[in-house]
Amino acid sequence: MSVSESKKKDTSTEEKIKSAAKTVFYNKGFAATRTRDIAEEAGLNLALLNYYFRSKAKLFEIIMSETFVGFISGMKVILNDEGTSLEEKVKIIAERYIDFIIKEPEIPTFILTEIRNNPDGLLKRLPIREIVNESVFIKQFQEAVEKKEISEPNPLHFLMNLLGLVVFPFIAKPIIMGSRNLETEQFNNLILERKKKIPIWIKAMFTAV
């Protein structure tokens, strides 16, 4: 494939629609999104949407799948790395996910609200159960509990706290920004501080005294 071909594909109509759909779906959710919003965002005729993707639902399905896979699949790899300690895993998750979400800050709210509207359908696709039940992380956690290095026996609390610390500020972003009249840059700086702080906080929370 030539350079011009690949460039052409990047900005092809199909890609334009997908990109516009992402933007609109992320910000408004499925129900509040009009197909006309997507067409307008893409600068294209409405009929192209159905020409390329057959229906709003199908298009959404594609966006959602890609988003979920992009968000969660990395997690599985990190949590199954035999070469990193528990502490290192926390560090890597905090850093990578904060960087990832800063680039696409609407994703957490998007995922959580769309799962609310269709829990069964979407959850089947995500390897959450494997992560929580069979991962290297879980083994390491249980070992640490046995060695009394960790005071909390339930790994679910550990994961909830870690993900909560990482993700919650993005979900509450409008409230946080409104509470102190922050601009996006200030908000992002606040969040970036947390890349270093979260691993320290988690360590303080869970290491047995």
Partner DNA sequence: AAAATATTTAATCATTTGATTAAAAAATTT
Partner DNA sequence: AAATTTTTTAATCAAATGATTAAATATTTT
Point out which residues bind its own copies (CB under 8 A): 27-32, 106, 109, 112-113, 115-117, 119, 123, 126, 128-129, 131-133, 152, 154, 156-157, 160-161, 163-165, 167-169, 171-172, 174-176, 178-181, 190, 193-194, 197, 201, 204-205
- Helix then strand then coil, in percent of the chain rounded to 5, is 80, 0, 20
Among its own copies, DNA, none, partner that 57 touches (CB below 5 to 8 angstroms by kind):
DNA
For DNA (CB under 7 A), the number of binding residues is: 16
CA angle 175, 180, 182 (to 5 degrees): 85
Query: Quick one: which of 10, 11, 40, 50 contacts DNA (CB under 7 A)?
Result: 50
Nearest distance, CB of residue 78 and DNA, angstroms: 37
Backbone angles phi, psi at 207, to 5 degrees: -70, 130
Q: Find the part of the chain contacting DNA (CB under 7 A) among 53-61, 146-154, 160-168, 196-204.
A: 53-61
User: Is position 44 an interface residue for DNA (rule: CB under 7 A)?
Assistant: yes
Q: Are 202 and 188 in contact (CB under 8 A)?
A: no
Return left, alpha or beta for 140; rule: phi > 0 is left, psi -120 to 50 is alpha, else beta.
Answer: alpha
- Say whether residue 117 binds DNA (CB under 7 A): no
Question: How far is it, in rounded angstroms, from Cα 57 to Cα 84?
Answer: 40
Closer CB to DNA, 55 or 186, in the complex: 55
Amino acid making up residue 170: F
Residue 121: CB minimum distance to DNA, A: 16
Q: How many angstroms separate the CA atoms of 128 and 76, rounded?
A: 8
